[in-house]
Amino acid sequence: MVRARDAQDTWGHTPLAERVKCLLGAAREMLQRRQEVMQLVEQEIGKVHAEALFTEALGPLDAVKGWASVLRPALARRKVRLNPLGFPGKRAQVEAVPRGVIAIIAPWNFPVAGLYRSVFPALMSGNAIVLKPSEYSPRSSGWFAELLAAHLPAGLVQVAHGDGAVGAALLEARPDACVFTGSPATGRKVSIRCAELGIPCSAEMGGKDPAIVLADCDLERTVAGITHWALCNAGQACGAIEIAYVERSIADAFVARMAEVWKELRAGTDVAPLANARQLAVVREHIDDALARGATAVSGGAPLGQGLGFAPTLLDRCDDTMSVVRDETFGPVLAVVRVEGPAEAIRAANQLRYGLGASIWTADLARGQRLAERLDYGVVSVNNHSFTGAVPSLPWSGTRATGFGVANSALALSTFVRPRAVVVDRRKDLELYWMPYDETLVELGDVLADLQQNRLGRAWKLPGLIRRRMRALRAFFRRRRSGEVG
């Protein structure tokens, strides 16, 4: 933390253009060396090759450029007009000041790309960072931090490896802000401790994303889209689709087509294994609970032999008594809930524990957008799903148990910068409202109040009141200088 603070003092005063140039250099090298990180994420958390390429390795340069476009206007000094009657002779501006050192407690599911929306804006805003990667993916995140540090002033990027105890110790070192991504249980602890220590905290604590499938949807595209967003990264994503609310009139066709597609997917090529044994246990528990409560496993439902592979599992006729509908599964499982229509689906979706992302699948785009406005979620899509997590200009946020943190867009910058108002007074004479208080000041205040309300009956008294008030102030300060008062 000390080294980070020392480095930040200079970095925070470096022009934005120079900071962007440094990060662009790092991103270009990451892109050139992408095979290295692809191999690491495949080894550490089991990503399939295509996902290691597209979800982890290809994005750093686009991310830096995107953040630069967001930050240039957001960090620019902004002039503020002051009322010349109430504040004569003064000018003001608001500027964004880096907070200092940002603690970033990161998850394992996207150990490189998941850092783009916290590390890049934190550094570009003029901060230093201390990164606590997940203990499940230390080499992948460490690779990212090492390449980044090589293009930046020494000490600006620090890494603290370890488990939750290291994260707790990091907070006790009093960073100037914290970004957390992870489970609700840990996120609540982090948020509470940050509040106790007076540390601004942005926390994203999971999701249980629903897709609402309407009867008029393009069935082939809907099945393909929901398949991708349910099974990408083996469903181990906060923005994965975990529930499909399907209109009853097309539910049979939807389930049948989905089952056909899922049975063609290849383990290890299309669908990754789970990242760790703990997640495998959660997936099995949710499936067993659903089957015991009356759900039907249309495809999958069991591990793929040895290791952490798990067959993509489509569960039909689910309901809200089941863990697979209530709680975050974080695995290659989709629960199908049959509904009478969009009103029932929206009502059910808005009662879910989490509120990160949701989507509506329909051929009627205008209707889809109207329905989207009724969903109490941070990100709502029509005929697609959570790709916006990789777009720096669009906010990524949620409601309910997902937490109140915001990633991406200028709306996320309150974690990385604070506002500072700078006011310059050009006047050399005294202010009308300065002490000592007297009847002239009170009468002047009454006239100013009338002017604000367009009551001009006493406005003619204003010049005389000002002159008398100024004479009284000058006389008071002459007496003070001569020792006659105070």
Residue 305 has pLDDT above 90, yes or no: no
| Biggest alpha carbon–alpha carbon distance for the chain | 97
Output the CA–CA distances (angstroms, integers) from residue 247 to 58, 59, 338, 342, 453, in the order listed.
Answer: 37, 37, 6, 7, 58
For the four alpha carbons of 475, 477, 483 and 485, in that order, the dihedral sign comes to positive
The model's pTM: 0.93
CATH superfamily for domain 2-205+410-420: Aldehyde Dehydrogenase; Chain A, domain 1 (3.40.605.10)
Task: Decide if 433 contacts 390 (C-beta within 8 A).
Answer: no
pLDDT of residue 85: 77
Share above pLDDT 90 across residues of the chain, in percent, rounded to a whole number: 87
- Rounded to 10 degrees, what is the CA torsion of 460, 462, 467, 468? 100
Tell the burial category of 118 from Cβ atoms under 10 Å away from its Cβ (0-12, 13-18, 19+).
Answer: buried
pLDDT of residue 248: 98
Residue 1 pLDDT level (bands cut at 50, 70, 90): confident
Look at strands 399-400 and 354-355 and give their pairing: antiparallel
pLDDT of residue 451: 82
382 vs 386: CA distance, rounded Å? 11
pLDDT of residue 486: 60
Mean pLDDT, rounded, of the chain: 95
Every domain of the chain and the residues it spans: 2-205+410-420, 209-392, 431-482
- The Cβ of residue 190 has, within 10 Å, a number of other Cβ atoms equal to 26
Residue 186 has pLDDT above 70, yes or no: yes
Q: What is the mean pLDDT of residues 388-416?
A: 95
pLDDT of residue 484: 75
pLDDT in tens, 406-453: 999 999 999 999 999 999 999 998 998 899 999 999 988 888 888 888
Which residues are part of the catalytic machinery? 204, 238
pLDDT of residue 306: 77
Q: Name the H helices within 323-393.
A: 323-326, 342-350, 365-372
pLDDT of residue 342: 98
pLDDT of residue 84: 87
Output the CA–CA distances (angstroms, integers) from residue 417 to 191, 336, 379, 421, in the order listed.
Answer: 18, 43, 24, 13
For the four alpha carbons of 183, 186, 188 and 194, in that order, the dihedral sign comes to negative
**Domain 209-392 is of which CATH architecture?**
3-Layer(aba) Sandwich (3.40)
- Pull the structure tokens for residue 387: 């790709």
pLDDT in tens, 64-117: 999 999 999 999 999 999 988 789 999 999 999 999 999 999 999 999 999 999
Q: What is the mean pLDDT of residues 182-193?
A: 94
Place of tokens 């010349």: 84
Tell the burial category of 301 from Cβ atoms under 10 Å away from its Cβ (0-12, 13-18, 19+).
Answer: buried
pLDDT of residue 280: 95
